[in-house]
Structures are given as C-alpha cells and as structure tokens.
C-alpha cells in the first residue's frame, strides 16, 4: 500500500505518479487528495505528481494527536526527504497553504522551486488588526459546536459554499462522503488548529516565485486576501478565476491546470512537457485514474 510510516501509529497515504519536476498538491481542512482528481490526468504526464492525505485525512491514519500546521509541515518534510525530492513545487489549497507556509517557516526554501497558493488568506481568524479572516470568535464557536452536534448538516451546508454554482447531487454526495471520513473529535481539533494560525509575519520571507489562484466569486475567503498576499509576498503572480469560488481546480479545471503548468514552465527546469513527452488527450476517465498505481515507501 502507498503509505509513508511517520511513526508506529501514523501512516501517511500518498500517490506518486509520473516523472520530472515534483509537484505536491496539499489539500484543505477535512478534505483529501481525491479532491485533486481533475489534476491527475493532466499533471501525471508532465511532472512527478505527488498527492498526500494529511494525517487523519482520507486514507491516512486517523490519529488523535499532531493536528497542528507545524506537525503537518513536518509530515510533508518527511515525505520530501524520504522520496529524495529536489526543486519541489508546493501547491497549497485552503488549509494546505498554511501547511506550505509552515513548511517554509520551518525548513526554508532551499529545496523548493516555487509555491502555489489556492484560495487562502494569511490567517482564517479575524484578529483585532485583521478583518478579512473567515471566522471571528463567535463564528468559530458556532462551527465547533456544529461539528460536534450535527456534523452531517454542517458539512452539507458548507460544501456548496466552496463553489460558484451549486454542485450536482452526485458531486455533493462524494464530497460530503470524503469530508466526513474524519471522526468528529479529530475534525474539531483540525478546525481549531488551522483557524488560529497567522502567517502574516513570514510572508516577506518567501523567496521563491509564487502563483496565487483565487476565484472571483469566493464565498469563504474574502477576495481582499488575494490582494494582501500579492502585496506582501515578494515575487508573486495573481490569477483570478472568473467562474470559480473556493475550488478553481474543480470549477475551471482545464484553465487551472494550464495556468499552473504555464507558471511552472516559466521557471524553467525539468518536466516531461519541456522534453516533448506529453499525451494529446489530457484527461482520463475514472477507470483510468483508478488504475494508476502509486509508489510504495
């Protein structure tokens, strides 16, 4: 099975597909690598695509401790070190951006080629000097309470907020199923831990090229957060996705994939596309995706 042993009780699930520049997609709170299903067929023929499930998310061990951005970043570092990766492109969606920034805070950028931020602000909490977070204290209390008392109802209402247009019933069902794999006790811990971090002080230290991807119709993260990041991270490029909310990689997948691909290509370096080894048909059906065999460590 494709797992990395972090410790005797913690196994990190991941897929490792393709060759070339390593690109690691880090998912958001309660989500998992399945949310990047539209990226697999495109990136696997161009790069070394790595899709982890953070601890307790998806198919990783449902451990009851370590649910801090610092520990998640350490887990990503262990994965990078174990696989011997160099010149990594980190793509952090929502909470995944916090994990990425924490990685940079702890380990620097010597091993990174670039970073991509998808739909996240420097902090999700509305501090006295920060009014563009997703939660104030009352809102956080309400969310924590809802997770403990009616998690299914909370998630059913939350997931549609990630999209400009309401997802189909089939898409809503698979996403709710994935999000609710976590026990409520772990889900509450993760929500609190990711909400109260604040990465504003370290943004100026990010010294690799950074792509910012935000939906124009964002319902969870104020669009002003994108402008703030653009102004405070030294080498940034902001792209607004006009027909997306919180999930441009699902709402406008082809445009998102091409945007990230073009950004990486602009940096130079190794990829199968640069060498000319790219399939004409960029997208696979579900059976082909399921047939992909990830690496085991």
Rg (CA), the chain: 18
Who's near 239: CB < 8 A, 6+ residues apart? 211, 212, 213, 214, 259
pLDDT of residue 268: 78
Instruction: Map out the domains of the chain as residue ranges.
Output: 3-122+202-291
Query: From edge to edge, which strands make up the β-sheet containing 3-7?
Result: 3-7, 10-18, 48-52, 22-26, 88-93, 112-118, 210-215, 236-241
Q: What's the start-to-end Cα distance of the chain, in Å? A: 8
Residues catalogued as catalytic: 94, 217, 246
- 8 A C-beta contact, residue 59 and residue 32: yes
CATH of 3-122+202-291, one of 1.10.10.10, 3.30.460.80, 3.40.50.1820, 3.40.630.10: 3.40.50.1820
pLDDT of residue 266: 95
pLDDT of residue 291: 45
| Calpha distance 136→130 (Å, rounded) | 10
**Mean pLDDT in order along the chain per 10 residues (297 residues):** 87 96 98 97 97 97 95 98 97 98 98 98 97 94 96 95 95 95 94 97 98 96 94 97 98 98 86 37 40 39
pTM of the model: 0.90
Using a 10 angstrom Cβ sphere, with 0-12 exposed, 13-18 middle and 19 or more buried, the burial of residue 177 is exposed
pLDDT of residue 269: 59
Question: DSSP secondary-structure letter at 54?
Answer: P
pLDDT of residue 282: 37
- Which helix (H) or strand (E) segment is 190 a member of? helix 184-195
């Amino acid at each position: 099975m494709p797992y990395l042993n972090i410790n005797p009780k913690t196994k990190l699930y991941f897929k490792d597909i393709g060759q070339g520049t390593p690109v690691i997609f880090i998912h958001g709170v309660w989500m998992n690598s399945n949310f990047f299903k539209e990226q697999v067929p495109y990136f696997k023929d161009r790069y070394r695509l790595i899709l982890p499930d953070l601890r307790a998310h998806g198919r990783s061990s449902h451990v009851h401790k370590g649910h801090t951005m610092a520990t998640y970043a350490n887990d990503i570092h262990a994965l990078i070190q174990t696989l011997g990766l160099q010149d990594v492109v980190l793509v952090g969606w929502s909470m995944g951006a916090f994990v990425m920034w924490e990685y940079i805070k702890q380990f620097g950028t010597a091993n990174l080629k670039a970073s991509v931020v998808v739909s996240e602000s420097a902090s999700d909490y509305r501090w006295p000097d920060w009014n563009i977070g997703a939660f104030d204290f009352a809102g956080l209390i309400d969310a924590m309470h809802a997770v403990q008392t009616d998690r299914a109802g909370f998630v059913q209402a939350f997931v549609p907020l990630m999209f400009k247009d309401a997802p189909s019933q089939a898409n809503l069902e698979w996403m709710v199923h994935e999000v609710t794999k976590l026990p409520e006790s772990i889900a509450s811990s993760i929500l609190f831990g990711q909400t109260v971090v604040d990465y504003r002080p370290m943004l100026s230290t990010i010294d690799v090229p950074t792509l910012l991807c935000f939906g124009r119709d964002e319902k969870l993260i104020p669009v002003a957060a994108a402008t703030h990041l653009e102004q405070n991270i030294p080498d940034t490029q902001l792209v607004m996705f006009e027909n997306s909310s919180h999930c441009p990689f699902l709402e406008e997948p082809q445009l998102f994939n091409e945007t990230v691909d073009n950004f990486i290509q602009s940096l130079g370096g190794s990829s199968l596309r640069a060498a000319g080894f790219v399939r004409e048909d960029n997208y696979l059906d579900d059976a082909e995706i399921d047939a992909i065999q990830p690496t085991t460590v």
